[in-house]
Amino acid sequence: MSEPLRLGVAGLGTVGVGVVKIIQQKANLLAERSGRPIEITAVSARSRDKDRGVPLDAYGWEDDPAALARRDDIDVFVELVGGDDGPAKQAIEAALAAGKDVVTANKALLAHHGQRLAELAEDAGHVIRFEAAVAGGIPVIKALTEGLAGNDVERVLGVMNGTCNYILTRMENAGLSYEDAFAEADGLGYLEADPTLDVGGIDAGHKLALLAAIAFGTQPDFDAVELEGIGSITIEDIRQAADMGYRIKLLGVAQLTGRGLEQRMSPCLVPAISPLGQLEGGTNMVVLEGDHAGQIVLRGAGAGQGPTASAVMSDVIDIARGTRLSTFGQPARGLRKARPARAAVPAPYYLRMELVDKPGALAKIAAQLGEAGISIDRMRQYGHEATTAPVLIVTHRTTRAALDEAIRGFETTGVLASTPVAIRIEEV
């Protein structure tokens, strides 16, 4: 059997410990499947003394992850530190300079610095693998770079943050307000230390930027992702969507159009009977649409120790087998810089607002929609308050630009009692 593949694992949090467990518990299976033993040589973390529930005394220790990356007795540097800059970035750069391959779960780092790191790796003849950075245990990177390599990808979409999906499904199933569902998720430990990474769509936006780069042969560009979180979604929106046969999801969509690359992460209505509409709790789902393969639906655990560590090990095993792929599926220097485009593909929209309860208010709103070239599919007034009237409108297909024009017109009418909420109805 070949020489062992020697790993240096930086970061012994939930995922890092999961990787250690797999290597300790499945050594024979890993060797059989990869054709060579896979071993940990050394590790790095903030504290040596913390009890992590796995034996670590057989491994070398480095306090500095960059020092671990430079060790002569490792072949692959496994970065599980996290963060879009700082020690993680420095350690990966050190690993590449020292002649190591890299496996990482760091979506934020790659979304911001992936192009430069990919060029560094490929110029040095090394690889960066990151299956665990997107959708946990779902093998979506492999699906795009390998399974659909013979396709022009037409669209990538999906639910890529389990915390947001948990909050939205709890609102619907238990009749909770957003605030109550948020507090419940926080109490269960589902939220990041900075909750806006989850509920603001940032975490999922990082993932979308990476998938778009692979799918469309473009440089990863997180700054071009349109982000809208779920904080404005109310239980009334959830109920009204259900009445119309829809469910609300924080949905990422990337597609290349004649205007450029559209990347958006925002709440959308999807048909309740669709695979995305049936997705419950903290589960993730990614839908890939290829010109020859058609629609491919991938569903599974988007986070957690086991699923994410499993994804890390899939990359490690590929390296052990000798599989060498460009970071984003094709040479990094050949990736083109896409022109960012706002959502230009027409779609129906759901509009909710409160109007001052006086004659002619609704007619003024309808007139503004008409002036923007938007026709109304359905309209409903419900639950009058003393001085205001909640109104729900579903438009026919229109562009977001036209809708924004109409909303600006609403503000000139003098009949708005609240800021309108607009949610795209996505065809899936």
Q: Which active-site residues does the annotation give?
A: 207
Residues listed for the chain = 428
Residue 49 tokens read as 């003394």
Angle ∠(312,18,309) on CA atoms, nearest 5:
20
CB 389 within 8 A of CB 376: no
Q: Could you tell me if 425 and 269 are in contact, meaning their C-beta atoms sit under 8 angstroms apart?
A: yes
- Rounded distance between C-alpha atoms, residue 154 and residue 27, angstroms: 40
**How would you label 280-310 residue by residue, b for 16+ Cβ within 10 Å and e otherwise?**
eebbbbbbbbbeeeeebebbbbbbbbebbbb
CB atoms within 10 A of CB 322: 10
Identify whether the C-beta of residue 155 lies closer than 8 Å to the C-beta of residue 211. Answer: no
